[in-house]
Structure 1
């Protein structure tokens, strides 16, 4: 039975309300003063408190303070005749559960009880019911989806329901959603296999992709009238973005939210270099051999993003714009940039590449503690959110709002939790990535991969004349037959990128203006 403590110096006048609640099987204990209520709370436990604001002796606000000091998690509903703003602010500041204005009727009280005590159950039941209805629609959409716009819409729906369902205690519903996501990725793999190469042909309807993002989406947002902060968070999935979006909304109002497609391979050296150069990898290799490195070349593969950006700015005739490029790869450099952020306000464009999420996914592979902390997608989102709340990046975003910056948030590619191995054989020149391989004489299971016999069709460089590419579909990862069991055990349930999946390819692009 739900136990209610009702505190009011005119409690006798509330007898009809109390009888109404007792008929609904609530147990109500009454008090005439704040001090009496504190004594009763010391001796008994309650599920909720109804508290009159205007009482002699200890006022409602003073009683509220004492209750919160003793039992911080006990929900308190403030009831008052006063509509003065400072009383509301004081009560809300003390984390009241609800605020009711006298005279209250019994149904208002009942609604407040439902909202505070039955909230989780009611939300859970409604969410489950709504998803059950939506499940049939998603299943129908899956059988008919046939354009990149429809795939974006379907993926956004799946993310929405995944985040909704993670807060309810219905493992069965979550398993159904997981099966829908798996089926969606299988169908998406077929769609990409059929259409991806055509997106590079002239006069073809194609989505915005890594190499067209800057020209088509970012340049129209840059002006000399307002500084722009472009943040590229490496390796950020759409669902990870969605869980920390509410924090950004505290400081900025959203103007646009679009999804775009990462190029293949969905790996940093390809996708992020393509964003900053405005070129596909084969063109980067051809036009900038001093900057481009293939998979098997020694040295860093992303050391020339600033040079690529500079060349693209010149090519697009944007030489009159002042801009800076910063790459953050550790906490120290992040803090330093946050401390000096005000110095960036005179730039027309400030680009910040933030590498934490990529490091997080690699750490999950290599460190047992991170494997525990990010054991599934829900935990991975939670870990990303925790990082963002305490990061120098959030400090920069807060300062950008105060300084009047336009904010653009995006990423280079996503990542997927790989579950199932697919055997592959290659020679010593074969690249090492778990979600794509390039090299000669590759042996693989054809149903598991998107095969690119001629890299030129996908505008990818060739390591040698007979090189080809394979990209893992769905949640597969490539494993060599040698030491197979150890390899599979080590990499299963880790976050990888480079292949073909909704999580890796469909990624966010969001434009904000300061509040």
Structure 2
């Protein structure tokens, strides 16, 4: 182990001799000095791992010394030690990004704990996390072999996401690879579960999960009231792990009332899943009841142009047409800033709906732009990119304003997305749809084990383009590729984020209800 170099600054340093001997016996190297001025000179010439700094010294005070140290060595951890418990001193020290704060008299074990916390923190966390996941690995594997209900799959997926986030920052690449293989196996089993159970979820009196088409009625409507305005934010294409990654930011402004993941319908694509949320209908029923609003894959024009009309029709059907409702779709930064600037105008609505398309644009631009492909090369990077965007987005500004105005916040999505790695050959006619994770058309030829097939689309409440049209949905991390120009096509789309198919990442997605913190 490399020797840890400590600088201890205290005008009564001689009284601390027992502490210093204790640390030296633990193989730490301790340099001492008796003033802030001396400390700054030493730091200019010598590299240290951590500084213990007395707050109450003649000449330069501890706080003044702290400021000077941070000017020179911004990342050097400084532990402030003081006799005073005055709040302003603590706040000033914390504001200057101290690593720890100890009140005199300190004992040697307090000092040792502070060292462990600040210098061995990453290693200790890494070792403990790895150990805990190793113990959990076998339990997850056993659960996976027995899981047989949609609730159990939702719980298992949340558990996998939890461990994915826990293992994210540890140094043991082997553990991350083991978890990745466990996720892959889970998706294989999940595909079989969906293939067997999905059609039955539309039968009457069957135990089925909340899905896109009944989400608004079952989950949103019970939260609406005339006493408190509600802000419903639908972030397009948001995976459950991405939500968990930026949840701590939202928690600064809102406290969580409930979190209940729900299931996206198939295809897990915007025109199907998001229209289903706003209409409260499956696509087959949208086509029948609203032929002027619904567009099939092969129809010209935008497929999500009528969400507000769908929502109005659903509210009327539910007897809620008197709710004062407003809808905004944000597809670029300029529109986001404009809405943030005018956000106060929403405060008199009972329900304000914001569809935020950023994550969808990111995932598609990843396919098109090499720079984004580099930035989001795996799930960890994809989460990080999402968090960076969210921290600097007009959406966060809107959430801050919503808190100040007392809005209830409901945050959800239409479907998730998956990093596709394996091509699956498919052949179709020229009218076959173009999505990489699902196809609809006539005379489709495909690899049976790699796709879920709906030969009769009406059995899963999807419209059929012709009498002989069927749907296929890619399972796990497959993407559908034509034999023509196969190698170029595969190289272009491999390791990109796509949606439309059957995977835990695409189908099990967040629905969160939050109330503003005072």
Which TM-score band (shorter chain)? over 0.9
Distance 2:33 2:142 in 1: 58
Which runs of no fewer than 5 residues in structure 1 stay unpaired? none
Confirm whether residue 266 of structure 1 aligns to residue 268 of structure 2. yes
Distance 2:52 2:431 in 1: 72
Task: Select 2:505's aligned residue among 491, 503, 506.
Answer: 503
Confirm whether residue 147 of structure 1 aligns to residue 149 of structure 2. yes
TM-score w.r.t. length of structure 1: 1.00
Q: Deviation at 1:159?
A: 0.6
Q: Deviation at 1:170?
A: 1.1
Name the residue aligned to 2:140: 138
Name the residue aligned to 1:308: 310
Name the residue aligned to 2:333: 331
Confirm whether residue 52 of structure 1 aligns to residue 54 of structure 2. yes
Task: Select 1:170's aligned residue among 158, 169, 172.
Answer: 172
Q: Following superposition of structure 1 onto structure 2, how do residues 41-440 of structure 1 map, counting pairs within 5 Å?
A: 41-440=43-442
Q: Deviation at 1:340?
A: 0.2
Q: What SS class does the counterpart of residue 95 from structure 1 fall into?
A: coil
Distance 2:165 2:345 in 1: 38
Distance 1:343 1:316 in 2: 26
Distance 1:489 1:156 in 2: 32
* Equivalent residue pairs, number: 515
Please list every run of at least 4 consecutive aligned residues from structure 1 whose deviation after the TM superposition is greater than 6 angstroms: none
Which of 158-167 and 274-283 deviates more?
158-167
Q: Deviation at 1:191?
A: 0.3
Distance 1:374 1:514 in 2: 32
Q: Deviation at 1:489?
A: 0.6
Q: What SS class does the counterpart of residue 231 from structure 2 fall into?
A: strand
Cα root mean square deviation, aligned: 0.5
CA offsets per residue over residues 297-335 of structure 1, 9 Å max, x none?
111100000000000000000122101000000011110
Confirm whether residue 464 of structure 1 aligns to residue 440 of structure 2. no
Q: What SS class does the counterpart of residue 308 from structure 1 fall into?
A: helix
TM-score w.r.t. length of structure 2: 0.99
Distance 1:58 1:255 in 2: 49
Distance 2:115 2:61 in 1: 23
Distance 1:307 1:390 in 2: 31
Distance 1:103 1:228 in 2: 52
CA offsets per residue over residues 212-239 of structure 1, 9 Å max, x none?
0000000011111001100000000001
Name the residue aligned to 1:8: 10
Q: Deviation at 1:204?
A: 0.3
Q: Following superposition of structure 1 onto structure 2, how do residues 25-36 of structure 1 map, counting pairs within 5 Å?
A: 25-36=27-38
Q: What SS class does the counterpart of residue 345 from structure 1 fall into?
A: helix
Q: Deviation at 1:187?
A: 0.2
